[in-house]
Every structure is written in C-alpha cells, then in structure tokens.
Structure 1
Amino acid sequence: MAQHLSYEESVRGVWKGLALLALVTLVEVALSLLKAAEWAEDIRILIYVASLLIIGLSVYKAYFIIYEFMHMGYEVKGLAMTVLLPTMLLIWALIAFFNEGDAWRKSREKVIYKDQLEVPTGDDVGAISPREDDLLLALPA
C-alpha cells in the first residue's frame, strides 16, 4: 500500500517541484538568450548544443509535470501507457508534418523560380534579337 504524506510534507514537495521547474525554466531562457547573442551567430556548434539542451530540458519539464502534478507516477503501468502512447504518436506526427512541410516549401520554391523565367512566345520564338543581329553584321565574311 502507498505511503501517505502529511499535509506539510506535501506542501514542501510542491514547493520543491516548483523551484525545480523555475530553475529549469531559467536555464532554458539563458540558453535561448545565448543563442540570440550576436557573438554566437557564427558558432554553429554552440547553437546546436544549446538547441539540444533546450529540447532536453523541455522534455524533462513535461515529464516532471506529468509525473508529479498529474500523478502519473503513482498510477498503474497500463494507465500510464495509455497516456504515453498517444503522446509518442503526436510527437511522431509533428516530426512527419514538419518534414512534409519542408518538402512542400522546397517544391514551391522551384515552382516560383520556374515561373519567373521568361519563355519566348509567338513571333519571338527563334527570332534573333536586335543586338545579336548587329553582332552578325559586324563579323567579317
């Protein structure tokens, strides 16, 4: 049987959890400001490491909130899996949609580029421009 905490112990646990979340949030904000710094723009490895740390800390915060404040850590495994599986499917869907959107963006850029090309139409097809005509007349025979 689960051990029940007293009211004071529960309040102390909530404050510790809030302090942990505040600390993680401050670290995330500091990393975000570091990425936005002008001197860090040229250091690509710093940007990648900071981005990975921000993602990792965000996942940890989500896990902690679900585990402690939504009480999933104290539930049976089957119930926890019914929450975890749709979450994993949602993450997979987000990754798939971002990849699909990126492919559409690249395809759209090609279409816009091809639309900007000038294609000769009507009488202009195969005609020599006046500048080329002058060059042909200037050539020695």
Structure 2
Amino acid sequence: MAQHLSYEESVSGVWKGLGLLAAVTVVEVLLSLLKAAEFAENIRPLIYVASLLIIALSVYKAYFIIYEFMHMGYEVKGLAMSVLLPTFLLLWALIAFFNEGDAWRKNREKIEFRNEAKAPVAAPVGLLEDVYMLEEVPA
C-alpha cells in the first residue's frame, strides 16, 4: 500500500521538485549561451559536449515531470509502460522521418544539379553531314 504524505510534506516535495527543475533549466540556458558564444565557434568538441549535456538534461527533466507530477512513478508497471512505449515509438518516428527527409533533400539536389548541367553539342552526324560534304566538293 502506498504511503500517504501529510499536506506539509507534499508541499515541501513540490517545492523541491520545482527547485530541481529550475536549476536544471538554468544549467541548460547557460550551456546554450556557451554554445552561442563567439569564442566557442571554433571549438567543435565543446559544442558537441554542450549539446549532449543539453539533450541529457532535457530527457532528465521530462522523466522527472512524468515520474513525479504525472504520478507515473506510483502506478503499476503495465500502465507506466502503456504510456512510455508509445512515447519511444514517437521519438523513433521523428528520427526516422528527419532522416528520410534529409535523404529526399540530397536526392533532390542531385536531380537539380543534373538538370542544370548542359549536354555537349556534337557535330551533325548521318545524312545531313553527307549533304554538306557533297556541296563543298567541287564538281
């Protein structure tokens, strides 16, 4: 059976949760500003690490919100999985669609490049060439 908290303990828990979310958000904003800084433009590893940290912190915030504020941490495992599995499928679909869209863009660029390319103009061949030759030969 679940343990019931008093009103004061519940309010204290909510404020702790909000403080944690605020702290994580501040760290995310600082990392974003670090990535946008002028000196960081040429330091690729710094940008990659900051991007990965931002993604990790965002996933943690989503997990915390779902676990605490949506009360998924206190539900039976089957219900929690029925909510989380479609979420993972949605993430997979987003990644797949962006990847497919990028492939379409690259193929479209190839097609446009080929359409703009000029074919070399060859000299006339066949019967027309023979007619020109006959006219040039003195009779």
TM-score with structure 2 length normalisation? 0.85
Shift in Å at residue 115 of structure 1?
2.1
Partner residue, 2:65: 65
The one-letter code sitting in structure 1 at the alignment partner of 2:81 is: M
The one-letter code sitting in structure 2 at the alignment partner of 1:78 is: G
Deviant stretches of 4+, over 6 Å: none
Partner residue, 1:84: 84
**2:12 is aligned with 1:16:** no
Shift in Å at residue 119 of structure 1?
2.8
The structure with more radius of gyration: 2
Partner residue, 1:119: 119
The one-letter code sitting in structure 1 at the alignment partner of 2:60 is: Y
CA distance in structure 2 between the partners assigned to 1:116 and 1:26 by the alignment: 49
Secondary structure at the aligned position of 2:103 is classed as helix
1:53-111 residue CA offsets vs partner (Å, 9 max, x unmatched): 01000000000000000000000000000011101111111111111111111111111
The one-letter code sitting in structure 2 at the alignment partner of 1:23 is: A
The one-letter code sitting in structure 2 at the alignment partner of 1:101 is: G
The one-letter code sitting in structure 2 at the alignment partner of 1:67 is: Y
Equivalenced residues, count: 123
Stretches of structure 1 that go unaligned for 5 or more consecutive residues are 128-141
Q: Could you say what the CA RMSD is over the residues aligned between the two structures, in angstroms?
A: 1.1
CA distance in structure 1 between the partners assigned to 2:114 and 2:35 by the alignment: 36
